[in-house]
Every structure is written in C-alpha cells, then in structure tokens.
Amino acid sequence: MTDPLDRVRQEARTAMSRAYAPYSGFKVGAALLCEDLSVVAGCNVESASFPCGICAERAALAAAVARGQREFKAVVIVTDAIEPTPPCGMCRQALAEFSPGMTVVSRAASGREARWTLADLLPSPFTPSSLPTQA
C-alpha cells in the first residue's frame, strides 16, 4: 500500500528544485494536499531586497487560494537540510487561517521526516474570530 502523501512529497520535491534562493542557498519546496485531494505546490523565492521574498509554504498557499482552494488536509515541506524543518512562524500563521488542524510533514535530504499538527506548532493562532465584530 502506498502512502497517500507520496504524491504530495514528490510535488514538494519538484517545487524545491525550482526554488530561487541565491542568497541563503536554502531551497524549500512545499505542497498542499487540498480537501478535494488535489495538490498545489510552491517554492521559496528570495529577493535582493530580503523582506520581499516569500517562503515555499506561503507560495503554495497563494497558488492554492488563487485556484479556489480554502481547506487543506496536509502540507509537505522538503528541504536539503539534514534535519526536518518546520515552517516559520509567519507561514504557520498563514496556514492556520485556513486549516489550523492540518498535518505538517517535513522531509530532509537525509530522508528523515517529522510530523506535527499545525495546532501543535501554533497552539493559539490569531484567527478571524480574534478580530472584533462589526457593530
């Protein structure tokens, strides 16, 4: 039996190979498994103006939202790191906007893999319900 995330891992790996990371050299690919089982990938894109870059997770999220996706089962992150790396805080917050309970899988070049729930990585996210209601 194959792992249902195999296809998602492959999409993340392909996206990582396309990353633009000339400054850090840290290429990252991410792929979201959408609620309808489609997969949408993204990669990190750096900029000489460092704050203008985007992480792979948020690139995948933006692409998925542009396709009309709003609910996700999992995100798979692939890097060349030795150890699996979880998403940064900004990406955790962005993903929590849509699916705070999703599974987060990180796979390192070594083959090591780690799994968390997004709720474990970001236990108290700022969500739409955190905003004051309109009077």
97 is catalytic: no
Strands 72-79 and 113-117: unpaired
Nearest-CA neighbor of 113 among 123, 125, 128, 103?
103
Selected catalytic residue, list 11, 35, 46, 57? 57
CA 103 to chain centre: 10
Token digits for 96?
């929590």
As annotated, the active-site residues are: 57
